[in-house]
Structure 1
Amino acid sequence: MANTEIAGKSLVDLVFSWSIADILNKDLYKNKVKQIPKSFSSVTDYLDSFIFPLIEEMREDLCSSLTLLSRAPTCEISCIEITEGYKPPDNLICTIDLKATDCFEDNFEPYEPESGDLLALTNVRPKCLADIDSPKLPFLMALVQRVTEKNEEGYKLSVRLSKPIAPEVCILEKGCWVTFAVLLTNLTTNNRIWKALNLELGEGSFNIISNVLQKDPTVCRNCAICFSRERNWIEATTSGALIRSLDLNKSQEEAVLDCTALKECYHKCTVKLIWGPPGTGKTMTVASFLFAMLKMKCRVVTCAPTNVAVIGITKRLLKAASKFFEYGTYGLGDMVLFGNAKRMKLDDHAELFDVFLDFRVHMLNKCLQPSSGWVHCLESLICLIENPEQEYHLYLQDKSNKDGDNDYGEDEEDQLLDEVKGELDVRSDQDREAPKIAESYKRRTWRKIIEEHIRPGNKKHRIKAARQQQSAPEFKSYEKNSNHLRKILSLEEFYQKEFHVLKNRLKFYAPILYTHLPTSFISLRVVKSMINTLNTVDNLSSFFSSTNVPGGEADIIKEGCLQELKALRARFDVPDIHGTYSIRSFCLQNGNLFFCTASSSARLHIDGPRRINIVVIDEAAQLKECESTIPLQLPGLRHAILIGDERQLSSMVKSKNSEKAGFGRSLFERLVFLEHGRHLLNVQYRMHPLISLFPNKEFYGKQILDAPIVLDKRYQKHILPGKLFSTYSFIDVSCGQEMSDDGHSIKNMIEVAVICEILCRLSRDVSASKQRITIGIVSPYKAQVNAIEQKIRDTKIIGENVGFTVNVRSVDGFQGGEEDVILISTVRCNGNGSVGFLSDCRRTNVALTRARYCLWVIGSGETLLYSESVWQKLVIDAKTRGCFFDAEEDDGLACAIAFALLELGQPDGLLHVNSLLFRRSRWKVFFSNTFQQSMARIEKVAVRKEVLLLLSNISTGFRKPHQERYVSFKDLIPRLLEYIKVDEMLHVIWNVDIIEENASYVQILKVWDVLPWFEVPKLVNHLNTFFSTYSTERLNCCKFRCAEGNLVVPMTWPIDSFSSGNNLTMSDYIEVLARKFSLLTLKD
């Protein structure tokens, strides 16, 4: 495909032009994808270098979706409607109705469509590629442009089709068409990148991009004209004092002060890098800088690759800023968080609703309503106080036109709540794509505001009065007549009720306005005036309960209240904006701090302010360089601050061709390669020193210092007893087995069993100690993550333990996260030291630096030792430091490994004297061939487990009561053969025997068979013949029992005690031994 074939095309046009064969062809763009250079000659060359790698990545993304088609979210289509503007071949817009999926099918969540979703339309629920490309309905794609309606029955979508459709496709009558929509991917982010690369975002700025094309040491240097002046000014003012009060270390404070000095620099464009290794407080550093910018009214866009990172920064800033707000939430109007509420999981972060754009728009929309908002209520209250008779006259006129009373007698609180709820539920056509705010949170938020800002005793007083009224005889008489109309209010009653309603509405709106309006539209002086005025209104209302006609002191307060209300009206110029679209644009154009993903920053190109001073990109080393061009083109941009660590994971790239071309490389990483200067945050606050020791030495050249908090002895936690579970340990699972999971990933079920055994212990200990800990389980392979999650669900390890949380993720998914205890499952176990992408140092760095108090690495020491990777160094380091332990040395872990082998259908390795279950037992256990054959015939793994568990118990010396233990049949030697009941069907038959070992006779256990009871006689007949060859002495040795406390332990006799020169027979020797151990409990 020539370059001219993509010129002028949108990404959607290009995708729609692909056939299934094109999508599956991994060589389609192989010759077009070139290595992305590290230096560029022009902005055009720079942007063009990402075009074909982006197209190839998009193709591979679709290819991956098609290969996993049977797992893709699918919805049934109930209706397809051709719109009036549908005109092939260009305008292929139509409407699709999708049925809601209420249940979970095949463990997949129901599909909820979003704008940008790319769908495949088919006439069957797809299981393979042939199902989406049939003669009846050839491969057809649809792009969701917007979700126009959502209800209990499903969704109505406006979509753009990839090709014209025949009229009969739209007929969905029974027996004709049963059509489905299958989600392939979402194009939103890639489409925004495409527009940024093709200069289609609007009037952008290339101040930053043009300065990072080549190596330029001056780009990171401070402005020679203004830096010293700005830096000195900041340090000498309250801003400097504020930064120093945030408890930053020297490296953090230096980075914040250096970046803050950029605010007033318009002489040059600067790019600052802040290098934040794991646990060094980069989020705190960013939040401190942003707080300084908030106080200095500087316009800054803060973005990150993921919603998780964006949420983290916003929460940290709110936590820091809330301590300095003079009036609670005043000032939050300068902060704007926007994006997809569902993907942000905003319901889990209730504290962020005060800065979330969609919620703010709904709040302000209520307050700014011309007929019921703040201005209306303020004017109405002024008119009521000035001329109550005129207002009463209007009330009477209105009353005469209605059948019944108005709402004044209702509970104002509930009335207001209902109105607000209704307002929030109404969605304008311009706002259909805004995510729906959780109903429970909306109601809880409004209720909280009402309770805080309406006089606390008001509702309680009304309830008490209502109960007294209901008990009166006249009320009961009134209640009988359901059609009886309420009486017309008197002037005094009207005045009081109207006054209370308006007062409560103003108190209700006030915190909304000073929370959500930018400070440039509502000054601190206005806020103070607003609060003081409402307090005066409260004082005036208190006279209504003690006097019938306002007079005396009440008149003075009334006049003062009136003057304050008028002064507030004159002082507070409320923005004249109405409707959700206008309010949203207003918030975006007048905010100072904006928080969003790098992709979502494209929205600011359309609705944002005309000038952005600074862009901050957190987790910049994880952001593809092509995606960073979206925020770096924001209008008026002059400075950029990139925070990250190129020694941790970069962004994920699916296409091998694009990966080789460097498509996953970040701007941060390229600038580091070009020796761009940077600030190093050199104090880590997360890991215990025993945990940080290896990664600091291996990945950061010992440049990172441990903070005093982690050096404190109290930071060392003894979560579980034993050296194996100390602060840092490598737990060697030598018998692990790596296996493929449907050819897509690798898992190791032996390591899964070990991890679950450790979790069981943690759960018990945490429950007993009532401490609260968080556990993270990290693995490089998705199949292992899934296997661990499934095992946890099956075994119900966590249960009701509220102080015990487990988070299982891949290494890639854990970047940026931290937990009290981290277990790493390395998975790989083979004879050649192959560890695959586990050898990636950045992936290893992330895995090793997530733990606070304990890090336990679980894997095959031998495999990793021969891997010739960083893991080889880790194993050698663990052995040198005495932190390397064999999992099989722990009885519980050995048992877990044994049962895991059993579940994998490999019991043979367990049925010998030196197996995991028996090699450390008091008794040596030997198995007959018949027993091993019988075990192989048992199909249920649970029964096999029970058999081995019972044998493990008796090998420790445990015995059942005497009468339930022996097999008793005619002609069988008494008290020789014993049995264990497994279940209602099966029994294990065994006896004590002796062997010659180290010049001694030693008692051992001989296991003969596991079989139903009705087959035991046949076995007894066989054993009778076998036992008939035993001498009396040997039989007596077999029947002898030596007790040690509650356990039966094996007995040992020296062979030379039975030599020919010895007059003692075996029986005599036993009698001597019996007298010698007369103080012990003997069981015959």
Structure 2
Amino acid sequence: MTSFCVPLVEETHADLLSSMSTLSRAPTSVILDFKPAKEFKPPKDLFYNVELSILRKFEEDDGRKIENDDGRYEPEARDLIAITNVRPKCIADLERPDRSYVAAFVLNVKQERYLTILSSKPILFEEHNRKIRKILYAIPLINMTTNIRLWSALNSELAGGNLNIIQRVLQSRYPDSKNCTSCLLEENCSADFADMKSRICSSDLNDSQKDAVLSCLITKKCNHQNTIKLIWGPSGTGKTKTVGLLLFSLLRMKCRTLTCAPTNTAVLEVAQQLLKNVTESLEYGTYGLGDLVLFGNGKRMKIVDRHDLLDVFLDNRVKILQKCLVSSSGWKEVVKNMNIALDFLRSLETLLCTLTDADKGLKQVFGEKEQSRLSHIMKSSFVREDCLRLLNSLPQTFSVPDFTEEHNIKKFCLENSCLTFCTVSSSAKLHEVKAQWELLVIDEAAQLKECESTIPLQLPGLRHAILVGDERQLPAMVKSKVSEEAEFGRSLFQRLVLLGHKKDLLKVQHRMHPSISLFPNRMFYENQILDGPNVKERSYDRRFLQGKMYGSYSFINVAHGREEFDNSHSLRNMIEVAVASEIVASLFKGMVSLCRHCLWILGNEATLTKKFSIWKELVIDAKKRRCFYNADEDKGLAQAIKVALVEHNQIHTLLNMDSFLFRESRWKVSFSNDFLKSMSRVKNAVTCKEVLNLLENLANGWRQPHWKKNLFVHHGTSSQLLEQYKVNGFLNLVWTVDILKENSYYIQILKVWDILPLSKMPRLANHLDVLFENYTVDKMNRCKHKCLNGCLVVPMRWPIDSNISPNADPVLSLSELLASIGVRDDFESSSTN
């Protein structure tokens, strides 16, 4: 366990460094006041009471009214913050000689604005004089809660830490769990287990899911050994559904179970699945949900958006119990005699349904003095709802608690619950509760650092653990290079797999179209995963956008763009962003809400195939299956790429003969170095777009009308070929027709020489005069020849061995030779002029 301590410190350091690099975007709060706390004892115990502003607008030193555009800092206990007299844009702003800052640790928070902090060094109060003070800011860096809990777990500082499972698991050779023969025989003879087995076998789970649940339940009953079971659940194989039925079975068996997951989202999902099973069961609808407790940070969980989970959420339950049992509404008298209250609650539903006979019912449990008051209370619909809420909040059996304090109510709910749900980190709070858990279930266990598992594994009384996950999916994120080399991100699930521990495989996937599951199944799961009948149905084969590349599975090659760093020093590729945005916009226009049926992978083929990796295998696989496409083959994506390249000063990517702008055009286009240099100096996006549109039109055969004469008149050799088109009012695009040798043919191409103002045209023309004087008569004739297809000009081509007499009429000679041969086969019907 101590081997994790150094990597944990390194990872904490890396987290802090990462947050420092994004200081410019961090929320801030103005410190209105601070003073030493009672515990203030220099030089080490530098405790202060701090008051933060709750307003976003405040006044700077020079009297300017400013607003915190990044939002107000909302403090939490165990935040590590910086206190400074400037809102920093970078780390350097904190390190200037004329500006000082201190690091501080938030011990507790009251009413979101009053903090008690431990400072790294004294705060100078003289500078905080009301008349001459400078504004001080509190800026959050990182929250240390999880890291502190980890440190305590690794150093066995948890109260009543239970090391039984850890001592068995954390060995170089882990003995695989085997079902105890005596316990197995006892279970098979048990009527309760037989009934449970029958229920599981008759459920709608597939065979591999049923086997996994039964295997866990058999192991749970063993009292002779500590065990850990692994449920291997690849994506889409129904992990949550399987865990939901497992937990429901454990609830029926009255097994005190803690269910954890790395994230709030994962915890909420599994709690929701279990709650669904419970509420659909007739037998559990009779007395409510008091045996189920979900706890954690309600704000982070966004629990208000999960109305179905409010009944089991701890903070909400505490409010209900306080309202019903502590207020002066009459329940205080009921609580004084809890045994009578229990009988009353158990018969409450019947009592409420027969209010006409209420007097008789009340006489059986209460004295005469209480009857009139309770009769009045019970007739109120509002109180009736309170009664039902109270009934729903209490477990089946419990000891009489002291309900005068919120802390006691929370302990009461946790100590008497049968199934408890929280994140792995939050499970540290359960070590403060005087209760024991028998079994631990960790969902998404392969995304959890191994050291994090030690927090719930040390719970008092814990004898068995069930890890549900998939070590083939992404592991926990590690920022520190040192920690990464130490395999700090490896999960306990992966450790046991590497040691050869048996896994119960959920081997039927019900989520992905077979074309999506094909590659990962072959590469990661040795083709052990079967496609469920639902994904094989014809209705599962859906098309949400037009085009071959938008089938069930495709790799879309985004060959353009480059990676660059953003303001937070993270790499980004804005061309890939543009492509992704265009696809999402198209889906949005089509009102497509669910696609969890298609997988379109965007990436750069050249980058992904440089080294041998899983990405290279994926690209090769996509090509073999004819699922590989270039993004610019789609007109909408091509337009998005063009706009993005212009907006991000990457237009040079488009200015080459092989660019997708000209790949399918009638004319090949060649660009001079002078033109490329001139375009690199053009910063106006509108001008760039106009140039590209003009080039596309020219490459497809459009020419401006004859009445639009060139503004620059030149009489040199180049005047026979020179074309100049106006761009954005003051620039001129200068181009000519040129001849290119390709294979066994000469072909006409467009040669773009430059883009420049009219005043610089003479210099370019003189330069081209010298160049064209080296052209032979044949080459000049071929450059001047025009071939029309309707109103469009199309390029000509000639065999290399053809000769044209200098004295011959170039039009007649060429017409006789290849009168109507264009570069593209679709122009065979062209005519000559």
Q: TM-score range by the shorter chain?
A: 0.7 to 0.9
Q: CA deviation at 1:951?
A: 1.1
- 1:968·1:974 contact (CA, 8 Å) conserved in 2? no
- 2:231·2:503 contact (CA, 8 Å) conserved in 1? yes
Q: Give a deviation string over 1:783-802, Cα, whole Å, max 9, x none.
A: xxxxxxxxxxxxxxxxxxxx
Inter-CA distance 376–989: structure 2 relative to 1 (3 Å threshold): farther
- 1:1042·1:1080 contact (CA, 8 Å) conserved in 2? no
Q: Which moved more, 1:1060-1069 or 1:660-669?
A: 1060-1069
Inter-CA distance 327–963: structure 2 relative to 1 (3 Å threshold): farther
Inter-CA distance 986–105: structure 2 relative to 1 (3 Å threshold): farther
C-alpha distance in 1 between matches for 2:766 and 2:148? 81
Tell me which of 778, 788, 796 is aligned to 1:1042. 788
Residue aligning to 2:488: 663
RMSD between superposed Cα atoms in Å: 4.6
- 1:116·1:145 contact (CA, 8 Å) conserved in 2? yes
- 1:934·1:1009 contact (CA, 8 Å) conserved in 2? yes
Q: CA deviation at 1:947?
A: 0.8
C-alpha distance in 1 between matches for 2:230 and 2:204? 22
C-alpha distance in 2 between matches for 1:187 and 1:263? 35
Residue aligning to 1:835: none
Q: What are the within-5 Å matches in structure 2 for residues 60-459 of structure 1?
A: 60-66=14-20, 69-70=23-24, 72-88=26-42, 91-100=45-54, 102=56, 108-126=70-88, 140-150=102-112, 155-163=113-121, 165=123, 168=126, 171-214=128-171, 220-231=177-188, 233=190, 237-325=194-282, 331-372=288-329
Q: CA deviation at 1:363?
A: 2.6
Q: CA deviation at 1:712?
A: 2.7
Q: What are the within-5 Å matches in structure 2 for residues 462-481 of structure 1?
A: none
C-alpha distance in 1 between matches for 2:817 and 2:208? 80
C-alpha distance in 1 between matches for 2:266 and 2:448? 12
Inter-CA distance 1070–622: structure 2 relative to 1 (3 Å threshold): closer
Using structure 2 for the length normalisation, give the TM-score. 0.80
- 2:561·2:650 contact (CA, 8 Å) conserved in 1? no
Q: Which amino acid aligns with 1:702?
A: N
Q: CA deviation at 1:598?
A: 1.0
Inter-CA distance 1001–654: structure 2 relative to 1 (3 Å threshold): closer
- 1:121·1:182 contact (CA, 8 Å) conserved in 2? yes
Tell me which of 599, 616, 635 is aligned to 2:425. 599
Residue aligning to 1:988: 733
Q: Which amino acid aligns with 2:693?
A: L
Residue aligning to 1:508: 385
Tell me which of 860, 875, 888 is aligned to 2:605. 860
C-alpha distance in 2 between matches for 1:356 and 1:1005? 71
Does residue 651 (structure 1) correspond to residue 476 (structure 2)? The answer is: yes
C-alpha distance in 2 between matches for 1:996 and 1:307? 66
Q: CA deviation at 1:1065?
A: 6.4
C-alpha distance in 2 between matches for 1:726 and 1:967? 50
Aligned length: 782
Q: CA deviation at 1:509?
A: 1.6
Inter-CA distance 373–974: structure 2 relative to 1 (3 Å threshold): farther
SS in 2 for 1:226: helix
Residue aligning to 1:541: none
Q: CA deviation at 1:995?
A: 6.8
Q: Which moved more, 1:945-954 or 1:225-234?
A: 225-234
SS in 2 for 1:50: helix
SS in 2 for 1:610: coil
SS in 2 for 1:291: helix
- 2:402·2:408 contact (CA, 8 Å) conserved in 1? no
Inter-CA distance 1012–221: structure 2 relative to 1 (3 Å threshold): same
Q: CA deviation at 1:977?
A: 7.1
Q: Which amino acid aligns with 1:57?
A: E
SS in 2 for 1:332: coil
SS in 2 for 1:277: coil
C-alpha distance in 2 between matches for 1:1055 and 1:661? 66
- 1:994·1:1004 contact (CA, 8 Å) conserved in 2? yes
Residue aligning to 1:952: 696
Does residue 874 (structure 1) correspond to residue 618 (structure 2)? The answer is: yes
Residue aligning to 1:518: 395
Tell me which of 510, 519, 537 is aligned to 1:685. 510
- 1:682·1:704 contact (CA, 8 Å) conserved in 2? yes
SS in 2 for 1:76: strand
C-alpha distance in 1 between matches for 2:447 and 2:821? 75
Q: Which amino acid aligns with 1:96?
A: V
SS in 1 for 2:280: coil
Q: CA deviation at 1:275?
A: 1.6
C-alpha distance in 2 between matches for 1:84 and 1:156? 15
SS in 2 for 1:183: strand
Inter-CA distance 648–172: structure 2 relative to 1 (3 Å threshold): farther
Q: CA deviation at 1:377?
A: 11
Q: Which amino acid aligns with 1:856?
A: I
Inter-CA distance 678–1013: structure 2 relative to 1 (3 Å threshold): same
C-alpha distance in 2 between matches for 1:1076 and 1:623? 68
SS in 2 for 1:254: helix
Q: CA deviation at 1:301?
A: 0.6
C-alpha distance in 2 between matches for 1:580 and 1:68? 39
Tell me which of 593, 596, 616 is aligned to 1:772. 593
Unmatched tracts of structure 1, length 5 or more: 1-46, 380-452, 454-494, 522-572, 775-819, 821-851
Inter-CA distance 79–1005: structure 2 relative to 1 (3 Å threshold): same
Tell me which of 416, 421, 433 is aligned to 1:590. 416
Tell me which of 798, 811, 826 is aligned to 1:1066. 811
SS in 2 for 1:629: helix
Q: Which amino acid aligns with 2:697?
A: N
Inter-CA distance 129–905: structure 2 relative to 1 (3 Å threshold): closer
C-alpha distance in 2 between matches for 1:86 and 1:1055? 95
- 1:1033·1:1066 contact (CA, 8 Å) conserved in 2? no
Using structure 1 for the length normalisation, give the TM-score. 0.63
- 2:85·2:101 contact (CA, 8 Å) conserved in 1? no
Residue aligning to 2:585: 763
SS in 1 for 2:462: coil
Inter-CA distance 896–128: structure 2 relative to 1 (3 Å threshold): closer
Residue aligning to 2:661: 917
Residue aligning to 2:684: 940
C-alpha distance in 1 between matches for 2:653 and 2:671? 12
Residue aligning to 1:581: 407
Tell me which of 441, 448, 467 is aligned to 1:616. 441
Q: CA deviation at 1:631?
A: 0.9
Q: What are the within-5 Å matches in structure 2 for residues 763-912 of structure 1?
A: 763-764=585-586, 767=589, 769-773=590-594, 820=596, 852-861=597-606, 863-887=607-631, 905=649, 907-908=651-652, 910-912=654-656
Percent identity (aligned):
46
Does residue 1010 (structure 1) correspond to residue 832 (structure 2)? The answer is: no
C-alpha distance in 2 between matches for 1:943 and 1:896? 17
Q: Which amino acid aligns with 2:681?
A: R
Does residue 703 (structure 1) correspond to residue 528 (structure 2)? The answer is: yes
Q: Which amino acid aligns with 2:8?
A: L
SS in 2 for 1:601: helix
Residue aligning to 2:350: none
SS in 2 for 1:273: strand
Residue aligning to 2:61: none
Residue aligning to 1:476: none
Q: Give a deviation string over 1:372-395, Cα, whole Å, max 9, x none.
A: 26678999xxxxxxxxxxxxxxxx
Q: What are the within-5 Å matches in structure 2 for residues 11-30 of structure 1?
A: none
- 1:120·1:139 contact (CA, 8 Å) conserved in 2? yes
Q: Give a deviation string over 1:35-82, Cα, whole Å, max 9, x none.
A: xxxxxxxxxxxx433334433433444444456555544332111022
Q: CA deviation at 1:288?
A: 1.4
Q: Which amino acid aligns with 1:983?
A: N
